[in-house]
Structure 1
Amino acid sequence: MTRLLWNVQSRSDLLRPARFAGRAEEESLRRLVGGLLALVGYRRSWLRPVEQWEPREGGTHSVFSSLAHHLLANYPVPPVMHSAWFAGSGWWAYRQRHWFRHVGMGGSLRTAGFPIRLTKRMAYEFSLAPAHFDIGFALRWAQVRGLGGSDTIARVVASTRLGREFFGEAFWTSVIHLFLRTRGLDPAHVDLIVEYLNHQKFVQRTIIVGEDTEISIDPPRPDLSIKGCTVTSLLRRAEEWKAEQRPEAPERKRFEWNRSEIREYQRAEDETRAWTIRELLDSDDLAAEGKAMKHCVATYTEFCVRRRSTIWSLGLEGPEGRRRLATIEVDPKTRTVVQASMKCNEEPDEPCLSLVKEWASREGLTVEC
Structure 2
Amino acid sequence: MSTSRSYREFAKSNIDEAIRLALAESGGVKARRALSRMIWTVQGRSDLLRPARHAGRSDAEMLRRIVRGLAALLGFRASWLRPLEEWEPRGERARGVFSSLAHHLLANYPVPAVLHAAWFEEAGYWAYRQQHWFHHVGMGRSLRSAGFPIALTRRMAHEFSNAPAHVEVGFALRWAEVRGLGGSEALANAVASTRLKREFLGQEFWRSLIHLLLNARGLELGQITPIVEYLYHQKFAQRTVIIGEDTELSIDPPRPDLSIKGCTAASLVRRAREWEAERRPEGPVRRRFAWDRSGIREFQGDRTEGKAWTIRELLDSDDLAAEGKAMKHCVATYTEFCVKRRSTIWSLGLEGPDGRRRLATIEVDPSTKTVVQASMKCNEEPDEPCRSIVREWASREGLTVEC
Could you tell me the TM-score, scaled by structure 1's length? 0.93
**1:76–1:334 distance in 2 versus 1, CA, 3 Å:** farther
Kindly provide the amino acid, as one letter, of the partner of residue 331 in structure 2.
Answer: V
Task: Report if the CA contact (8 A) 2:144-2:152 is conserved.
Answer: yes
Deviates more, 1:201-210 or 1:43-52: 201-210
Answering whether residue 267 of structure 2 is matched by residue 233 of structure 1, we say: yes
Q: Distance in 2 between matches of 1:158 and 1:121?
A: 17
Match of 1:39 in 2: 73
Task: Report if the CA contact (8 A) 1:20-1:26 is conserved.
Answer: no
Which segments of 5 or more consecutive residues in structure 2 lack a partner in the other structure? 1-34
The one of 175, 179, 198 equivalent to 1:141 is 175
Shift of the alpha carbon at 1:34?
A: 1.6
Match of 1:280 in 2: 314
Match of 2:211 in 1: 177
The one of 149, 153, 156 equivalent to 2:187 is 153
Q: Distance in 2 between matches of 1:62 and 1:208?
A: 50
The one of 201, 215, 229 equivalent to 1:195 is 229
The one of 126, 142, 147 equivalent to 1:92 is 126
Shift of the alpha carbon at 1:43?
A: 1.8
Kindly provide the amino acid, as one letter, of the partner of residue 109 in structure 2.
Answer: Y
Task: Report if the CA contact (8 A) 2:91-2:100 is conserved.
Answer: no
The one of 301, 305, 310 equivalent to 2:335 is 301
Q: Distance in 2 between matches of 1:9 and 1:249?
A: 47
Shift of the alpha carbon at 1:271?
A: 6.0
Shift of the alpha carbon at 1:83?
A: 1.2
Secondary structure (helix, strand or coil) at the match of 1:325 reads strand
Q: Distance in 1 between matches of 2:280 and 2:340?
A: 28
Match of 1:70 in 2: 104
Task: Report if the CA contact (8 A) 2:372-2:401 is conserved.
Answer: yes
Kindly provide the amino acid, as one letter, of the partner of residue 304 in structure 2.
Answer: D
Secondary structure (helix, strand or coil) at the match of 1:268 reads coil
Q: Distance in 1 between matches of 2:250 and 2:340?
A: 15
Task: Report if the CA contact (8 A) 2:194-2:225 is conserved.
Answer: yes
Q: Distance in 2 between matches of 1:235 and 1:149?
A: 19
The one of 359, 372, 377 equivalent to 1:338 is 372
Answering whether residue 223 of structure 2 is matched by residue 223 of structure 1, we say: no
**1:18–1:185 distance in 2 versus 1, CA, 3 Å:** farther
Shift of the alpha carbon at 1:93?
A: 0.9
Q: Distance in 2 between matches of 1:54 and 1:24?
A: 24
**1:360–1:106 distance in 2 versus 1, CA, 3 Å:** farther
Q: Distance in 1 between matches of 2:117 and 2:378?
A: 47
Which digits, 9 at most, give the CA deviation of each residue in 1:144-186, with x for residues without a partner?
Answer: 1111111121111111110022212121111111111112331
Q: Distance in 1 between matches of 2:56 and 2:222?
A: 35
Secondary structure (helix, strand or coil) at the match of 2:301 reads strand
Which segments of 5 or more consecutive residues in structure 1 lack a partner in the other structure? none
Q: Distance in 1 between matches of 2:190 and 2:283?
A: 31
Answering whether residue 292 of structure 2 is matched by residue 258 of structure 1, we say: yes
The one of 341, 345, 362 equivalent to 1:328 is 362
The one of 68, 87, 110 equivalent to 1:53 is 87
Task: Report if the CA contact (8 A) 2:65-2:121 is conserved.
Answer: no
The one of 63, 73, 80 equivalent to 1:29 is 63
Cα RMSD over matched residues? 2.0
Task: Report if the CA contact (8 A) 1:19-1:25 is conserved.
Answer: no
**1:48–1:203 distance in 2 versus 1, CA, 3 Å:** same
Q: Distance in 1 between matches of 2:179 and 2:350?
A: 67
Q: Distance in 1 between matches of 2:89 and 2:144?
A: 30
Task: Report if the CA contact (8 A) 1:80-1:133 is conserved.
Answer: yes
Task: Report if the CA contact (8 A) 2:174-2:197 is conserved.
Answer: yes
Q: Distance in 1 between matches of 2:239 and 2:285?
A: 9
Could you tell me the TM-score, scaled by structure 2's length? 0.86
Task: Report if the CA contact (8 A) 2:113-2:164 is conserved.
Answer: yes
Answering whether residue 142 of structure 2 is matched by residue 112 of structure 1, we say: no
Q: Distance in 1 between matches of 2:309 and 2:97?
A: 77
Secondary structure (helix, strand or coil) at the match of 2:219 reads coil
Shift of the alpha carbon at 1:269?
A: 4.8
Shift of the alpha carbon at 1:249?
A: 4.8
Secondary structure (helix, strand or coil) at the match of 2:59 reads helix
Q: Distance in 2 between matches of 1:121 and 1:303?
A: 45
Give the percent of matched residue pairs that are identical in Structure 1 and Structure 2: 74
Secondary structure (helix, strand or coil) at the match of 2:248 reads strand
Which digits, 9 at most, give the CA deviation of each residue in 1:31-84, with x for residues without a partner?
Answer: 212212211222222111011122224433332222111111223221211111
Report how many aligned residue pairs link the two structures. Answer: 369
